[in-house]
Each structure stands twice: as structure tokens, then as C-alpha cells.
Amino acid sequence: MLFPLAERLSGRNVNSRLAWLQSAFNDEWEQRKRLNRLRLIDVLQNAKYEIPFYKDLFRQVKFDPLLLLKDVRYFQRLPVLTKEDIREAGARLLHPDCQRYLPVHVSRTNGSTGSALPIYYTPAAKDYSAAVTRLSQHWVGFSADQRQLHISSAFPGQTPQVAKRQEWWRQQATNRISIECEAWTEDCFAALWKKICKAKPYIVQGHPSTLYALARHVMNALGPQRGYFAVFVSTGETLTVQQRRSIEETFGCRVANRYGNAEFGIMAHERFVMNEAADDPDLLDAHEASKNHFMQVVDPYVWMECLGASAEGAGSLVVTDLTNYSSPLIRYATGDEGALESGVDGLYLKTVTGRVHDKIEIAQRSYPTHWFQDFFTRLGVVDDFQFLRKPGKQLELRICLLDPRAEMVVRNKLAESFSEIAFDVSFVERSQFVRVGQQQKFRYLVELGEEPGAAIASKSPLSIFSGKNHGKDFLYLEGWYSEEKYATGSFRWMRRQAEILLNAEKSITSISVTCDCPADTKKLPVLSVRESGQVLYSEKLKSGAQRISLNLPSTAQSVPRTIVFEVSEAYQVEGDTRELGLKVHDIAIS
């Protein structure tokens, strides 16, 4: 009853957007696909003429949105938008009139897959995101007269009265209760379970790691406790099979997975379907997707792609806004990996791999890393953090600040929150965070081993250019095949996209690339060269051998620079299953 009143008083318009989404999902999937493509073209056309960042980008890569009417694969000609691109573009990703005429809200992501980013929300963008949230609740059987409960992290200190009033009003309007979990201790879990039993909500929402730990506590202390809530919605982390099974067995509830981030909100959600299965068992319909716990993509809201899929079907998830005309994110690389499959009723996210949060033991108390993630987000001055743990050594907490002058603020808050600080605190640049694995992924907790080849924490951002690489001008990164040597010369094939890393200790001002397009190339490609999202070069290549030269913009940064090469077309060789983009004979640095 309060939600329509809250809408009017706050100037929001969520219900009409919800009605539009529900109407869109009443259409057949083939019809939705056609409408979604037109919506995508509309967003791209608007960006081409109205958004400064995309005006420049589309002109540099010679991109015409209307060509998507002929072939939707043309969309792949646009480079992906990275977190670094967003950070550098800043307000150029926002329609110029928005800041003058609309109450634009600037928020920062919590950085779970990289550095925190500024994200712009207009009233319409916030309303569409809220409508998707309400739609996803309907998908798991929730109705407006039922209660939902959200488990969040508890923090020391006083919450401002204004924030308390805003949160109270929001909870009343959405029939929601928020319960805080201070730490992963027996006492905290006992108190948390008592509050859930008292509330008796339909939905419980929170991190799966927290509810899994609660399920283990309840099962050990009380045995199965069923009937206190109907659905658990997993948020913020990867939901494992073991977590799902334990939560369902302990609480007798259904578990719904969802996928989203701070940039878009919810993009895909598990949907409970009760209708009969299709006659063809190999057909992926809504019933089969529900049975297999696949998440349905909210396809009228976002355009989702899976790039570089492996043999198992998983690849990098890239997403585009379909409703945000004021500050759209186009081909945004989320930093997550997943497997997409198109069925007869829609597009489904079969698997997704995002952040898996570890536990930090401090003064005999266990904290999930998302506790610190929320803790630093609320402070508003921390860009990112990382714990380093090494056998026989004190735990180290590395913090990268948005403002170096805020060091004492963070130190004081940590001292206030932990009477016994069982870790060393150091303030660092982002380059001093340790990356792990072949793909150099970021984790909030890194175990540093003593054995050779273990990750080594270094205060030098140039460590990759030490030792045998010390004198090199550049290194080949992603997207390159091994060098092939013949009597007539040597070359190295690159994929359609490849990267090199420049040595920051060298004074590099230009790059020359010697390459060739074989005479039997069916369609000559466009070669684009980029750095941090900025297009340095974009021209159609000629047939045969050629040399491309370009100047690099000057920079004051003392860290290695990543240069990205991308061609618009792949070269086909009969019997060769590799993705071949360009034959490169030489890269000269000066």
C-alpha cells in the first residue's frame, strides 16, 4: 500500500517500468529478440550523437549503428568498454544536459572485480533498475503483501539520523527488514537466526557464504529448521552447489541465484516455473531452465554477450544498457565469466563465476572479505584493499586510497573497530596489489607461499621488467601465438585482439608494426590500436605487406602501458582451427 505513495512523494516512476517489463516478457522470444535489437540500435544511435565519449569512439572506429539492421554481428566491431575506460572518461559518458536539468546521482562501485568506479544514475535509470528488482521477486513467487529480509554487515559507530530515516521509509515502502550480521561467530549466528525466526519473511536475501555458515550453525545446534522462510536469494557472490544443497536441506526453502553488479543492478535471475516440461527433452524451455537452476537474462533491460567462450561454453560476460539513454555502458566488460544459451523462451545464464569471498581471522573472530568490502565502501575514501597472508608472518592489509590525505581517517576507523589490530596496515598504489593465476586475477585474500613460483608481493610496479626482461622494450601479453620461423622470414599470428606491455623504464614515443594481409583474404580488416580505451589508430588494411606507424600520447605515469591491437575480421585457413587475426612480422619501439 505504501509503495505507490512513496513513488509519488519521491518523484519515482517504478511501477510503470515494471508493467512495461512484464508486458515485454509476455511476447514470444523471437519477437523479443527483434524488439531488443531495435532497442539496441536506438541506444547506439543516441550515444553516437549525444554522448561525448561515444561520439569520439564511433567516429574513430567508423561505426554506424544502423548496420546492425543487416547483421547484428556488426556490433562486435565496437571495442569492449573496460573499467579503466570508465575511470578515464568520467563525465564524458554522461549526456551534457543531464547535469544541468536532472538530479544526477554519482555512485561508486564497491570494486569487487577491480577498482571502484564512478557510475552515473539518472532518475529513469534508477527506476528501471528498481523495476527489474521487483520483477525478479515476482519470478520467485513474492508478492507485495509479503515480507522480505535482507542480511547485511554490521559496523561499529553511529549511523546518521538522516540515513536512518531514509532507510526506515524505504523498508516500510518495500515491506523489507534489514538484519545485520556482525561477524561469523556462534553468538552472532544465534542472534541472526533468532531474528529471522521472529520476522518469518517470504524471502531472505544475502551473501551465500553467510547463509551457508548460518545453515551449518543451525544444523549443528538445532537440526533442520524448516518453514521459517520460503526462498533464499543469493547475492554478491558465486553460489556453489554445496551451499545451495546445505541451505535447502537445513531450512527447507528454495534457493534462487541471481547475477548483477553495481553498474546495472540485477541482469539475470533464477525463475521458478511450474508449467509442464516440453515434449522434447533436448529443448531448453523455461521449465528445463528452472529445473537446472539457470538464470534468465532480463533481455529487454540488457544486451548480454559471452566473448571468447571455452569448450565448456564459458567466456567473458559483456553487457550493454538497453534502457539508459543518459549514460549508457556499451559493451561493458563486467570482469565475470559465464556461459550463455538461447532457449525457446529466452536467453539463459547457465553458469557464472564472480567473486568468491574468503574469511579473515582477526582476534579469534571470523570475518568474510565482503564485510571489509562494505566497511571500506561506507568510509568513502578507499579505492580498494587486499589482505596478504604468509606462513609465520603477521597478516598484512594493503589499502589504496582515493585521497592520500585520508590515511589517518582510515587508521582511526580501524583502531576504533578493532581493539586488537592483528594485521599490519600499509597504504599502497593499485600496482602494488598482488595478482594471482595465469590471468592475473585480483583477490581480496592472497596466500603467499615460500615455494618457487609463488605470488610475491612487490612494492615495485615494474617487477615484470626485471631479470631477463630488464632490457626489453615490450612484452607480448594476451592474444599472441608462438613465433613461426621459415627460410623466407618469421612472423607471429595474433588473434582478432591482442595486447603488448610497454616497459615504463624506456622512453617510448612511437610504435611501428610490420604486418601483411594474405592475397586470398576475403575481406580486408580494419586495424584498431587502443590504449586505455583511447583509439590511437583505426584504418582499413591493404592487401600484402605494409608498415603501420603511430605516435603514443605522452604520460606522466611510471607504470607499464598496455597497448591493444584489434582487427575487425578473422582470417580463415582451411584445417586451422585457431582464431587468426593478423600476421605480424615485427613490432618496433622507439
DSSP sequence for 510-561 = EEEEEEEE-TT-SSPPEEEEEETTEEEEEEEPPSEEEEEEEEPPP----SPE
**How far is the C-alpha of 18 from the C-alpha of 224, rounded, in Å?**
37
Q: Looking at per-residue confidence, does 176 or 142 come out higher? A: 142
Task: Report which DSSP code applies to 226.
Answer: -
Residue 228: how many CB atoms within 10 A of its CB? 17
CA–CA dist 407, 426 (Å, integer): 10
Calculate mean pLDDT across residues 6-29.
84
pLDDT score, position 451: 38
Q: What is the CATH number of domain 467-589?
A: 2.60.120.200
pLDDT of residue 271: 96
Helix (H, G, I), strand (E, B) or coil at 514: strand
Can you read off the three cell numbers belonging to residue 443?
A: 583477490
Mean of pLDDT over the chain: 83
Over residues 475-490, mean pLDDT: 80
Q: How confident is the model at residue 63 (pLDDT cuts 50, 70, 90)?
A: very high
Tell me what the mean pLDDT of segment 279-300 comes to. 88
Return the DSSP state at 159: P
Instruction: Determine the Cα–Cα distance for residues 83 and 446; give it in Å rounded to an integer.
Output: 22
255 φ/ψ angles, rounded to the nearest 5 degrees: -110, 130
Q: What is the mean pLDDT of residues 126-133?
A: 93
Question: What order do you get walking across the sheet with 526-531 strand by strand?
Answer: 474-476, 497-502, 561-567, 526-531, 534-540
HSE of 405 in the Cβ direction (CA atoms, 13 Å)? 0
Q: Residue 53: phi, psi to the nearest 5?
A: -60, -45
Confidence band for 317, pLDDT divided at 50, 70 and 90:
very high
Say whether domain 359-465 belongs to CATH 3.30.300. Answer: yes
In the predicted structure, residue 458 carries a pLDDT above the cut 50? no
Non-local (6+) Cβ contacts of 29 within 8 A are 342, 343, 344, 345, 346
Q: What mean pLDDT comes out for the span 463-486?
A: 75
Residue 358: predicted pLDDT: 66
- In the chain, ranges of CATH 3.40.50.12780 domains: 2-353
Residue intervals of the chain classified under CATH 2.60.120.200 are 467-589
* Listed range (375-384, 407-416, 426-435) with the worst mean pLDDT: 426-435
CATH of domain 2-353: 3.40.50.12780
Read off the amino acid at residue 41. I
15-29, 460-474, 508-522: least confidently modelled range: 460-474
Assign 172 a pLDDT band (cuts: 50, 70, 90).
Answer: low
pLDDT at position 455: 40
* Weakest mean pLDDT among 63-67, 357-361, 581-585: 357-361
pLDDT at 459 over 50: no
Joined together, the cell numbers standing for residue 165 give 530515516
Express each pLDDT in 183-242 by its tens digit: 778 888 999 999 999 999 999 999 888 898 899 899 999 999 999 999 999 998 888 888
Q: Tell me the three-class secondary structure of 38-54, residue by residue.
A: HHHHHHHHHHHHHCHHH
Over residues 538-553, mean pLDDT: 89
CB atoms within 10 A of CB 532: 16
Axis-axis angle for helices 29-50, 52-61 (nearest 10) = 100
Least confident window among 79-83, 141-145, 157-161, 514-518: 157-161
Q: Encode pLDDT of 378-390 as tens digits.
A: 888 887 788 998 8
Mean local confidence (pLDDT), 374-378: 82
DSSP for residue 207: -
pLDDT exceeds cutoff 60 at 457: no
